[in-house]
Every structure is written in C-alpha cells, then in structure tokens.
Chains A and B, each alone.
Chain A
Amino acid sequence: METYLWITSVWGVYLTAIVFFGGMGWRIYEWSTTPKSAVRLGMFPKPKSGAGRFAKLLGDTFIAPQSAKIEPTMWTFAFAFHLAALGAFVGHGRLIKEFPVLPEMLGEAGMNTFAAWTGSIAGIVMLAGVLFWIARRTYGPFKNLSVPEDYLLLFLLLGVVVMGDHMRFVYGGTIHAGVYRDWFMSVLTFKPAFPSELLSSNVSVSLGTHMLFADLFLMYFPFSKLVHSIGAFSSNLVRSSE
C-alpha cells in the first residue's frame, strides 16, 4: 500500500504539478500569442464603459444568466457543482494551513464538525452534478454530441468525487485534516513522508485512489475542454467588446 501511495500521492503529485502548470502556461501562451480577430465579434446590448464591460464579464462568466434562462435545470446543477467545487477547493486549503479564526471560535472538535458538514454537502452536491452530467449524456442530442473526451473527464471526475466522499463519509470521524496536512506539507516541502495514522488505516487506499484520479484529471485538464475555466473570461469579454 505504501508503494501505491508513493506513486499516486507523492511522485504523482509532482508529475501532475509539472504537467498541469506547464500545460496551462502553454495554453495561455498559445492563446495570448495568437492575434485577436480583426473583425468585431461583440453583440448587443453591451455596456458603454470599461467598468460596465468588466462587470458584465464577471456576471456572464460566474453566473451565466442567459444560460439560466434557457436551460434552468442544467444551469442549476452546473452552478451548484461549480460552487461546491469552489468550496471543496477552499476546504482543501486546510491541507496547507488551518483556517484562521474559525478554529478559535469553534474549537478543534467544532472545527472538525464544521468541516465534516461543509465537506459532506460539497461532496454530495458535486456527486449529484457529475451524475446528472453523466445521465444527460446518455440520451438524445446530448449523447449524439458527446465524444469520448466527455466521458473520460466525467469518469475521472466521478473517481475524484466518489473517493473524496468515501474518505469523508467513511473515515471522516477518525482521520482529520491535521493528518492529511502532515502528508501534504511533506510533499510540498520536498520531504515526502506518510504519517503513521495514514499508513495504519484503510483510508490510505481511499487517499491513494482519490489522488490517482485527481492526478489523471489534472494532468489531462490543460489538454481538455476544461480550459474553459480560464478561456471563458476571454471569450465572454469578446461578447461585450467594441
């Protein structure tokens, strides 16, 4: 098991970091060095001021009100998923440093309970979102439009979420953030090691598998349609451009 953890949760993390940041950097470089369209591609109505256009860009990108209007079910699941993913991302910040203020207010046990609740909600919402997307791609025009990339990404995402939820719901009461922090900080400081609590618990299987899916997902990220996470800002800005 320790070898599996070393592959997925140490060397895999380093490789993923190189591929992910390198890939995203390359993607941004490619976009930024390709000339802009000479033709004006904006549409109306559009704000007249730069600040207005910036505000519209943020609204279009983070809320997508037009999409909400035309397909509210899809929008609801997508919005909830992205919000939950953001929550999960912020929550994973505890792997680096314990949150300020909250632990003092809630106490250690209270903080763990708070993390359990918020993490559980985020995990369930993300799972629901992924299952909705998978189901949606199994019929009609959605199925016809889908290509293997779509299913691969959903499969990897499902793996990340299910294993994350497994860690949360099965081991959440016994292994807390501090243990994972010891492992993660050791990786970040290039002195990788696994705490004995991890190695002696079956959670190591879940962690290793969660990390396996996360590694694969993030390594493929820059070469997939998921670059909409950064490209949407630029393409939505064009909508309001002169």
Chain B
Amino acid sequence: MDSQQLTTLTGVIDKKMNRQLKQYMDICARCAICKDACHQYVGTGDFKYLPARRAELIRQIYKKYFTKSGEFVPALYEARDPDDNLLDELYDSAYACTGCRRCMYYCPFSIDTAWILSVAKAILIAAGRGNEMLGQLADAAIFKGDNAEMFNDVMISGFEDIQEEVREITGNPNSRIPVNKEGADILYVALAGAHTIRPAAVIFEEAGENWTISMFEAANYGFFYGDTDKARLITKRYIDEAKRLGVKEIVVPECGHAYRVAEMFYEAWSKEPMPFKISHILEKVDEYIKSGRITVEKGLIEGKVTYHDPCQIGRNGGIFEQPRDIVKAVTDDFVDLIPNRQEQWCCGGGGGIVAMDEFKETRLASGSKKVEQLRASGASVLACPCENCRLQIEELNEMHGLGLQVWQVIDLVVAAMPLKGKKPVHV
C-alpha cells in the first residue's frame, strides 16, 4: 500500500470522525453479545458477519493511525493498515450489512455498527472498491435529477396510465394523479413502479387530499452505496421540487430507508433545516382511517394477517403502532410476529442487498429467523411495508413454501375500502 493511498483512506476516517464514532471505536468490549442479534451471523454462522467483527476492521485502522497506544503497540490491538486483505473483508462486512441496527439495540453500550460501516463504505469508495451496482444506480438517479426535463413526457404518460387504473378502482372518472400541482398540501414521493403509486393515489383521492405526485422516486441508492454526497443529491431532487411547488408536507412511500433518509439524515447532510413536515404514508393512512376520511371494512381480507416491522420504519424510524392499527382496522384476525416492534428480526433484505447478486446466498440464509417467525405465526397474509423487505420475504416465501400472501399495507387498505369500481387483485 503506497503512502498516498494510506493518507487518502485514513483521511476518510478523519473526515468522518465525530464524538459518537470515536466512542464506538474506544469503548467496544468485544463481548460479542451482538452475535445473537444479527440475522446474518445467526443465519450463516460466518464470523465476518458478527457485528463486533465488522466494526473491529475499522477499529484496527483507527487504533493504528488515531491512537498513541495503537501506534506504539499495534500488536496489542491487532491494529493494521487498510491493505487489500482488510479491504476485501471490509467489502463483505459493509455491503452485506442491512443496517437494521438490531445489534445496537442489544449492545450494552448502544454501539451503532451500521454507523461504523457507513465509514467503512466511504473508505471502500475512496479506495475505488465501492459496490458498482449501487454506485451506478445512484449515478442514474442523480442524472435524472440533473436532466429532469428529459424524463418529463415519459413520466407524465406513465402517470396517466396509472390514473386510468385508479379511476377503474375508485369508480370515479374524476380521480386524478395530479402532476406538478402548485399549492398542493402534500407532495407524494413514490418508488419507481406503479404498485407504490396506484394504491396511494386511490387513498389520497378518496380522502379528498390536496396532493401531487413527485417526478422523482424516494429510493436512495446513494445511501446504500455509502456516499453521503450522492445520497444528499438524490434526496435534494424532491426537496427542491417540494419547494418549487410550495407544498406543506412530503409523504414518502412504505419504503423504509426513504423515510429515514428524509426524516433523520437529510438535514445533517444538507446543513439546512428541513422546511417541510416529513410523513410516512402509513402515518397518513392511519390518520385518514381514524378521522373517517376514508372508510375500510373488516371481512374483505381472508385469512390470519400478521405484520413485519421493517427496521428502518420501526426500530430506526419509530413507526410501530400506526401500521398495526391500520391492519387491525381491516381484519379481526391479526397476530403479531414474535419478537416484534423494536426487537423484530430483520428480514435480511435491507441496505440495498437485494440489488447485489453477489450476496444472494448470504441474504437468503440470513432470512432463517424471519422464516421461523412467519411459520410460528400461523398467518396466511403478511402485511409488509418496505419494498426491500417484500422482495426478500417473497423470495423466502417461495423458497421455504410458506404459502403466504405478501401485501403492501396500502394494498390491504384499498382492498378493504368499499369502492364503487373494480376491486384490485393481489398479485
């Protein structure tokens, strides 16, 4: 390793250094209590996925270059250079991590391994070893933001097609998907794909909401990639759009990381206060049901229903009860997974891992706890927000023959609404 590269890589840690990171580096007792908290370690038994080991790789560099004791007696800490061997291991540790922070929940010192691994990803990117797929997806999203007019016609045409489907479902020929509506109260930032727009549009229209749809998607591959500048630019696309349209509130879809990026991270990245309220769509839907703005009926959903807390919405986002209240509003046959809420097992599909084929084997093995939970629940329907969770659980469902129907929560809601039009069919 040449000295210039060493300076670059240690410089990344220096740039990312803050009180929390420093303490996480200094205080870990390597007690390994975190091992049984990590779905990936439990599912694969592979040492490199043990959370404390993942963090230890960064600690080895930190000890050597940021502490006197590590500089003088590196052997005491197994401190070492960020050489090829370390970077190889770091790549697997960092990009396989789903960022669920279940290890942090159980750690006696609340060490945020996912945060440490965000530094690991920054080191890998500086070393030219960032995940290519995630990097390309992030760049594509930024390109779209820089050249929005190039995509306008395609987007609007797509929205018009979905609008027709919405009208069929509601039975209301005036149902709309408003685009570029200045003065709307809400800007809804969906994911790419009609499935996150159609049910949301039905709900907003039936609730009589003054809303408009974003020309951009909420997914943020810059966040998964580990590049905060890219992540900020991707988010900034719809923040600028919301400012231009003068909306009061941004509503993100069921997607887990999109909520956390907008609500928890963007202010810090942009160094400016968030001028809008950020809401998760399930918060809005819960409000609509409780205030009577939309009506749902029980009995239209068949079978026992359970709910999976996506990590970025639940443990890391604080949305536990609203989705449960929604599900309980559409069925009397609800059963919770055990454990649940803040102790919920990660499904294994978060953090962008579903987009990285090289981790497929690890990803599917890491779903073993989720499979156990789902089997034990006896449910035949799973209400599952978060696109990544659904993709993972659908694959687990097929692989393990669980016989589950995996629904978005907003799809369940639409299915339980007494609409005049055609009932949406679950696919």
Q: Indicate if the CB atoms of A239 and B264 lie closer than 8 Å.
A: no
B258 CB to nearest A CB, Å = 16
Flag whether B11 is at the interface (Cβ < 8 A). no
Choose among A43, A142, A236 the residue that contacts B109 (Cβ–Cβ < 8 A).
A236
A49 beta carbon closer than 8 Å to chain B: no
- In residues 13-60 of chain B, which contact A (Cβ within 8 Å)? 17-24, 26-33, 35-37, 47, 50, 52-53, 56
Contact of B47 among A27, A71, A141, A238 (CB under 8 A): A141
Q: Which residues of B, 246-276, contact A by the 8 Å Cβ criterion? A: 264-265, 267-269, 271
In the complex, how many residues of chain B place their beta carbon closer than 8 angstroms to a beta carbon of chain A? 56
Give the residue name and chain of the A residue nearest to B318 (CB): A44
Task: Say whether A235 contacts B24, CB under 8 Å.
Answer: yes
How far does the Cβ of A55 sit from chain B's closest Cβ, in whole Å? 15
Q: Are B109 and A232 in contact (CB under 8 A)?
A: yes
The answer to whether A236 touches B20, judged by C-beta atoms less than 8 angstroms apart, is: no
Minimum C-beta distance from A80 to chain B (A): 14
Query: Which residues of A in the span 127-175 have a Cβ within 8 Å of any Cβ on B?
Result: 141-142, 144-150, 152
Contact residues of B: prevailing secondary structure? helix
The contact string, 1 if C-beta is below 8 Å from chain B, for chain A 223-242, is 11101100110111011000
Point out the residues of chain A lying under 8 angstroms from B37, CB to CB: 70
Proximity bits, B314-347, A CB within 8 Å = 1, else 0: 1111101000000000000000000001100000
Contact B18 A34 (CB under 8 A): yes
Chain B stretch 56-101: residues in CB contact (< 8 A) with chain A: 56, 67-69, 75-78, 101
CB nearest neighbor in A for B78: A147
Could you tell me if A66 and B19 are in contact, using CB atoms closer than 8 angstroms?
no
Query: CB distance A71 to B33 under 8 Å?
Result: yes
Query: Do the beta carbons of B18 and A36 come within 8 Å of each other?
Result: yes
Q: Which of B110-118, B133-141, B193-201, B288-296 contacts A (4 or more CB under 8 A)?
A: B110-118
What class of interface size applies to chain A in its complex with B? 35 or more
Q: Using Cβ atoms and an 8 Å threshold, which residues of chain A touch B109?
A: 228, 231-232, 235-236
Report whether A238 and B20 are in contact in the complex, using a CB–CB cutoff of 8 Å. Answer: yes
Q: Does B396 contact A (CB under 8 A)?
A: no
Query: Which has the most chain A C-beta neighbours within 10 Å: B33, B68, B104, B110?
Result: B110
- Evaluate contact between A36 and B19: CB separation under 8 angstroms: yes
Q: Judge if B299 is at the interface, Cβ distance under 8 Å.
A: no
Nearest CB in chain A to that of B18: its residue: A37
A191 interfacial by beta-carbon distance below 8 Å: no
Inter-chain contacts of B112 with A (CB < 8 A):
41, 238
Contact at A234–B317, with CB atoms within 8 Å?
A: no
In the docked arrangement, what's the CA distance between A18 and B286, Å?
60
Cβ of B33 and Cβ of A70 under 8 Å apart? yes
Residues of B within 8 A of A66 (CB): 105-108
Contacts of B20 in A (CB 8 A): 36-37, 41, 235, 238
Cβ of A31 within 8 Å of any chain B Cβ, yes or no, is yes
Please state if A41 and B115 are interface contacts (CB–CB under 8 Å).
yes
Interface residue A74 (Cβ < 8 Å from any Cβ of B): yes
Question: Contact between B18 and A236 (Cβ–Cβ < 8 Å)?
Answer: no
Q: Which chain B residue has the least Cβ–Cβ distance from A234?
A: B23
Q: Does A83 contact B (CB under 8 A)?
A: no
Contact (Cβ within 8 A) B23 A231:
yes
B residues at A contact (CB < 8 Å) = 17-24, 26-33, 35-37, 47, 50, 52-53, 56, 67-69, 75-78, 101, 104-112, 115, 264-265, 267-269, 271, 314-318, 320, 341-342
A residues lining the B interface (CB < 8 Å):
27, 30-32, 34-41, 43-46, 60, 64, 66-67, 69-71, 74-75, 78, 141-142, 144-150, 152, 223-225, 227-228, 231-232, 234-236, 238-239
A-B contact pairs, 9 of them (CB 8 A): A40-B265, A41-B112, A67-B107, A70-B106, A71-B36, A141-B47, A228-B29, A235-B111, A239-B110
In the complex, the 8 A-B pairs of residues with the closest C-beta atoms, listed nearest first: A38-B268, A44-B318, A228-B27, A239-B110, A231-B27, A64-B108, A223-B69, A39-B268
